[in-house]
Amino acid sequence: MPLSTPPPPGHFVFPSLSGSLTLQKVTFMAYAIIKTGGKQYKVSVGDKLNVEKLEVSEGDTASFDQVLAAGEGSDIKIGAPTLAGATVQATVLSQFKAEKVTAFKFKKRKGYHKTKGHRQPLTRVQVTAINA
C-alpha cells in the first residue's frame, strides 16, 4: 500500500510482518569527532573508550577541546580544523596497560635474536557531555 504523501522529516516508512506499512520516527544520536593522543574517535554521550594515557586521576573529569566535528543527524558542524569553543566532557573510569606486544629481531645464521616487550598505558573514559 503506497503512501499518498511523503513522510514528515525524521520519519521513515517500514514494512511490517503483516504486509502493511508503518510510519516510525527515527531519532539520530548526537555525536562528535574528537582528537586525542594522535588518534580520532567518533563519540556519543555514554560511550566508553580507551584512549592514550591522560594525566587525570580516576573519577575526575577530562575535557577534550580538539573537537573536529559535532552534530546530530543532518545538522553537523565541521571545524577548520577544530570547532571554536566546542568541548567533550568525559569521566575517567580507570588507568591501565594494554596487552603485551612482543617485538622479535632475528638475523639468520648469525646467532642474533632479541626479544623486547611493550605494554602501552591507556585510560578508559566514559563520555558524559558534548558541548558544541
Domain boundaries, the chain: 29-131
| The pLDDT value given to residue 132 | 81
Percent of the chain exceeding pLDDT 70 equals 80
Residue 59 pLDDT class (50, 70, 90 cuts): very high
Among 11-25, 76-90, 114-128, which is the least confidently predicted range? Answer: 11-25
| The pLDDT value given to residue 99 | 97
Long-range contacts of 24-32 (CB under 8 A, 24+ apart): 28/72, 28/73, 29/72, 30/70, 30/71, 30/72, 30/130, 31/70, 31/71, 31/72, 31/130, 32/67, 32/69, 32/70, 32/71, 32/86, 32/88, 32/130, 32/132
pTM recorded for the entire structure:
0.74
pLDDT digits (tens, 9 = 90+) for 66-114: 999 999 877 889 999 999 999 999 999 999 999 999 999 999 999 999 9
pLDDT at 61 over 70: yes
